Amino acid sequence: MKIYTKTGDKGETGLYGGERVRKDSLRVEAYGTVDELNSFLSVAKTHMSAHETASMITDIQKDLFTLGADIATPARSQTACRVPRISTTHIKNLETLIDRVQGTLSPQTHFYLPGGCPASSSLETARSVCRRAERRLWSVAKKEDVNPDALVYLNRLSDLLYVLARQANKHQGIIEIQWEPEKGGKKKS
């Protein structure tokens, strides 16, 4: 099988079920951003020394393929019943992970600047892409039916990526830099 099909050369692509849509459609933008998120997670994983966390990221990457298929298959599609969907089980798994990781961190009383060690910085980048994917999917949801669990999943995933980024800095002994808003419009010197 060849990697190129030439079916997208005129600006259209196929959704699962065969429907052709423009490559810049909201739905394609949403699942394309999920694909981008998956790629950023692969970069983050290369910076992780903890096998458990890298394994967790691999599991999330598998979920993101399910999410991509979910988004790429409208409910009206003939193949909708055969496509795996994100479910409350996926969401509960993320919430369990968030609680477990957050339990290893000091309580948060401030916002922290993104960054620190390479793993943390990569996870923060993935988190911001995840937030964009969530926004894109909400744009689709304004016009078409989408799986509501997919929207919740992306929201929880960004929370998990945030606490994982904090944990990565903690494991490396890096002190998080707190964001302190300027008082009275004056910068601190």
What residues pair up with 93 in beta bridges, in sequence order?
Answer: none
Q: What is the pLDDT of residues 68-105, one digit of tens each?
A: 999 988 777 666 567 889 999 999 999 999 999 999 99
Q: What is the pLDDT of residues 99-129, one digit of tens each?
A: 999 999 999 888 888 999 999 999 999 999 9
Letter for the amino acid at 116?
G
pLDDT category of residue 28 using cuts at 50, 70 and 90? confident
User: Pseudo-torsion of CA 106, 41, 56, 84, nearest 10°?
Assistant: 130
User: In this structure, is residue 8 part of a structural domain?
Assistant: no
User: In this structure, is residue 177 part of a structural domain?
Assistant: no
Q: What total number of domains does the chain contain?
A: 1
**CA neighbor of 160 nearest in space, from 69, 71, 44, 46:** 44
The whole-model pTM stands at: 0.87
User: In this structure, is residue 12 part of a structural domain?
Assistant: no
Give the mean model confidence (pLDDT) for residues 44-72. 90
State which residues form the domain around 40. Answer: 18-105+113-171
What is the CB neighbour count within 10 angstroms for residue 133? 28
The CATH number linked to 61 is: 1.20.1200.10
